[in-house]
Amino acid sequence: MGGTRRAFTGARWEKEVGYCRAIRRGNHVWVTGTVAVDENGAPVAVGDPAGQARRCFDIIENALGQLDASFSDIVRTRMFVTDIEAHHQAFGEVHGERFKGNEPATTMIEVSRFIAPEFLIEIEADAYVEES
C-alpha cells in the first residue's frame, strides 16, 4: 500500500494548527497526541483520569479504523500526564485493559499542563500494519 493517507476528526484545531489525527504511510501509522474530547471538542470525563484515558483510546481506535488499521496494530504508546503521582495507577489500569494480550512499548511522562486545564492526559500511538 503506497502513498500517504490521513484521518481527521473534524476538531477545529486540525484546520487552525494544520495537523491530522493520524497519518498512514505504507504499513506505518502515527496517531497525534489525543485528549479526551467529545464530538464538539469539549473536554469529557473532567476530573476522571480513567474516563479520560478511555476516551483518548476510543478516539485513537476510530482514527486507526479510518486508515484500515486496528487497535491491535499499535506497537507504541506515549502517555503525557499532568499528575503522574496521583493518576499513574488509573492511567496504567486503563492502558492494561485496552492492550491485554497485545502489549505495546509505552512511556508515561509528566508534563506541566495542556492547552486546557481540564485535560489530565494526552496519548500518542504508533502502529504497524502487517502485510496480509
Tens digit of each residue's pLDDT (9 = 90 or more) over 74-127: 999 999 999 999 999 999 999 999 999 999 999 999 999 999 999 999 999 999
User: For the chain, which domains are there?
Assistant: 4-128 (3.30.1330.40)
CA distance 63 to 70: 9
pLDDT of residue 13: 82
The DSSP symbol for 43 reads B
- Residue 43 bridge partners (DSSP): 37
Per-residue pLDDT tens for 58-77? 999 999 999 999 999 999 99
| pLDDT greater than 50 at residue 1 | no
Q: How far apart are the C-alpha atoms of 7 and 63, rounded to whole Å?
A: 6
CA atoms of 1 and 7, how far apart (whole Å): 16
pTM of the predicted model as reported, rounded to 2 decimal places: 0.95
